[in-house]
Amino acid sequence: MTVFLIYEYFILCTLAESAQILGVFHSPSYSHQTVFQSIYVELSLRGHNVTVGTSHPLNNPRLVNLTEIDINRQTCAIIEEDQTISNLAKELGMYEKMVKFYAVAYKVAESIWSDSRFVQIYNDSGSRFDLVIVQDTMLPLLHPVAFKLKTPLVGVSSNGGWARSHYAIGNPNPLSLYSELYLPYGRRMTLPEKMANALYDIWNRYYLNFEALPKCDQIARKYLGNDIPYIQDIEKNMSLLLLTTNPILYEPRPNVPTVISMEQMHIKPVKPLPKDLKQFLDNAKEGVVYFSLGSNVKSINIPEKLRKVLIEAFAELPYKVLWKFEADDLPGKPENVLIGKWIPQQDVLAHPNVKVFVTQCGLQSVEEAVARGVPMVGMPFIADQTRNIQRLSEEGAAVGLEHTTLTKEEFKNAIFEVVNNPKYKQNVKRLGEIWVDHPLPSLNRTIWWIEYVIRHKGTKHLRSPTADVSWFEYLLIDVILVLLTIVSLALFILYVAIKFILRMIFGGRKLKQN
Ligand SMILES: *[C@@H]1O[C@H](CO)[C@@H](O)[C@H](O)[C@H]1NC(C)=O
Ligand SMILES: *[C@@H]1O[C@H](CO)[C@@H](O)[C@H](O)[C@H]1NC(C)=O
Ligand SMILES: *[C@@H]1O[C@H](CO)[C@@H](O)[C@H](O)[C@H]1NC(C)=O
Ligand SMILES: *[C@@H]1O[C@H](CO)[C@@H](O)[C@H](O)[C@H]1NC(C)=O
Ligand SMILES: *[C@@H]1O[C@H](CO)[C@@H](O)[C@H](O)[C@H]1NC(C)=O
């Protein structure tokens, strides 16, 4: 009875509490923002008063507890001006990519820090917040807001954890097993890959500690003043780190208790299709190839040569083709192809006539295909896409292609293989079934954890000691050094003693002989 009452009291307490939450999600990319949207909408529906900075506001008047600050204009302008997407091309070296990306990140941070609507929030001593949620990417750009507003800090990533995030929260990160997100290494790294991974890690630690983090710290101080701790201490203070991972694309790894995985956060129940699209798909009894390169790469930007290969191949296919193409007109469009600037991808993938998804293999697109059970032909361009298609091919759920050397025959063969060989469909279904099997839906788990942080004003009690020890303590270098000293000392004493004894014996004999 008492247990029941306590339980009821607890439920009432948690329901009654409506927290003030600030979220800042700086990546101006639709596929990243959809993950954050699911979280902040749900928090607002649960009665929290949520204020977010986002590049893709929902502007839904029914979400009465949600205030969105639209940062699309300034952040998109920076990303376009710096050609960020082409700078992430898989052909470029990792250092080159990261340094260019860091440079863009500083500009994005400045544009948000200096935004008057945002200044009003962090510079108003009357601001009362209970929690700050920030996007956690390769740099802790806006994490210091939490310190300024005196709230616990939650980091959330629309993909897995960056090496920096793992260091900050104290996650074990053995380089023999795990590599940085955008490195294209599989589950069992070869010796040269492990060497490259180790060298990258040394460079990354150096660059973060001596260049990137001081720069982020300097930017934050410019706006918050000098009374803030060093940025690394602030990022280490994250109460929770929410990562978008899954057991299919990401190798399982040991996580400290404050790292929580989210799966399929942006997957929504199937909605009815727009009429013209529904008609096109319904009538395509011969099957449909759905082609989209996502919201970052965009098929309007691909090289002319590749576009020609795709158009010629599509024209010769015995299927209909639905192509997400970001313009009104596609010159030379074959009869069997329908283009659309924007396509409700999750709902199209749920249509039974869609036989194959030709994709760039961005994380969110892959998740949607797996959720709807559609096998893939993958054509990676940037970021983690190479890694994703490698994993899906290993699982027999997709065929990977290299777009720089792609020929018409190769492309057609890949599509025929995936459509006609039932193994691809079976495998993608198998993966989907593993993926959704959890004691609680992912969104419920995520919200529970965020509210847990609010209820306990942080998770100091869960902080892993690995976040606070230095690397030489972690690797027992201090212990090894002491042991080595003791052993060497013992050996030295033994050596001196033996030498002394020998001299006593033989020295004595020598004397006698003389
Ligand atoms: C808004 O928050 C209140 C509690 O503060 C809650 O009762 C209500 O359901 C929420 N409404 C919506 C539409 O989010
Ligand atoms: C909710 O947040 C908005 C924006 O930060 C603020 O203007 C408003 O006063 C808050 N409402 C409540 C009920 O706390
Ligand atoms: C760490 O977070 C707590 C709240 O959870 C806050 O009181 C403290 O000032 C923070 N410290 C740093 C260095 O950010
Ligand atoms: C914040 O407010 C203080 C005064 O309260 C002012 O001196 C400072 O310039 C403001 N900072 C920004 C970035 O506007
Ligand atoms: C998950 O959350 C939703 C929305 O808050 C709720 O309606 C549903 O009952 C929850 N599911 C479980 C299994 O707790």
Is-contact 40 60, C-beta < 8 A?
A: no
Protein residue with its CA nearest to atom 1 in ligand 3: 237
Q: pLDDT tens, 268-307?
A: 999 999 999 999 999 999 999 999 998 878 778 888 899 9
**Which uninterrupted H or E stretch holds 355?**
strand 354-359
Predicted pLDDT of residue 510: 62
Ligand with minimal distance to 65 CA: 1
Whether the predicted pLDDT of 309 surpasses 50: yes
What mean pLDDT is predicted for residues 110-121? 95
What is the band of 1 on the pLDDT scale with cuts at 50, 70, 90?
A: very low
Is-contact 301 325, C-beta < 8 A?
A: no
Three-state secondary structure call for residue 416: helix
**Quick one: what percent of the chain has pLDDT higher than 70?**
95
What mean pLDDT is predicted for residues 405-421? 95
The helix, strand and coil proportions of the chain, stated in percent and rounded to the nearest 5, come to 50, 10, 35
Ligand 3 centroid, distance to 289 Cα (angstroms): 51
What mean pLDDT is predicted for residues 329-355? 94
Write the single-letter amino acid at 330: L
What mean pLDDT is predicted for residues 166-190? 90
Question: Is the Cα torsion angle 162, 165, 171, 174 positive or negative in sign?
Answer: positive
**Which uninterrupted H or E stretch holds 260?**
strand 259-262
Q: Count H helices and E strands in the chain, helices first.
A: 21, 13
**Which uninterrupted H or E stretch holds 154?**
strand 153-157
Predicted pLDDT of residue 186: 78
Ligand 2 centroid, distance to 323 Cα (angstroms): 43
Predicted pLDDT of residue 428: 96
Whether the predicted pLDDT of 383 surpasses 60: yes
Backbone angles phi, psi at 108, to 5 degrees: -60, -45
CA–CA distance, 369 with 427 (Å, rounded to integer): 12
Ligand 5 centroid, distance to 445 Cα (angstroms): 9
Predicted pLDDT of residue 300: 81
Q: pLDDT tens, 396-408?
A: 999 999 999 999 9
Predicted pLDDT of residue 508: 64
Give the atom of ligand 4 at the shortest distance from the alpha carbon of 123: 1
Q: Provide the phi-psi class of 278: left if phi over 0, else alpha when psi is between -120 and 50, else beta.
A: alpha
Q: pLDDT tens, 47-59?
A: 999 999 999 999 9
Ligand with minimal distance to 439 CA: 5
pTM, two decimal places: 0.89
What mean pLDDT is predicted for residues 472-495? 95
Q: pLDDT tens, 215-237?
A: 999 999 999 999 999 999 999 99
- H-assigned helices in 60-160: 72-81, 94-113, 116-122, 144-148
Protein residue with its CA nearest to atom 2 in ligand 5: 444
| Mean pLDDT value across the chain | 91
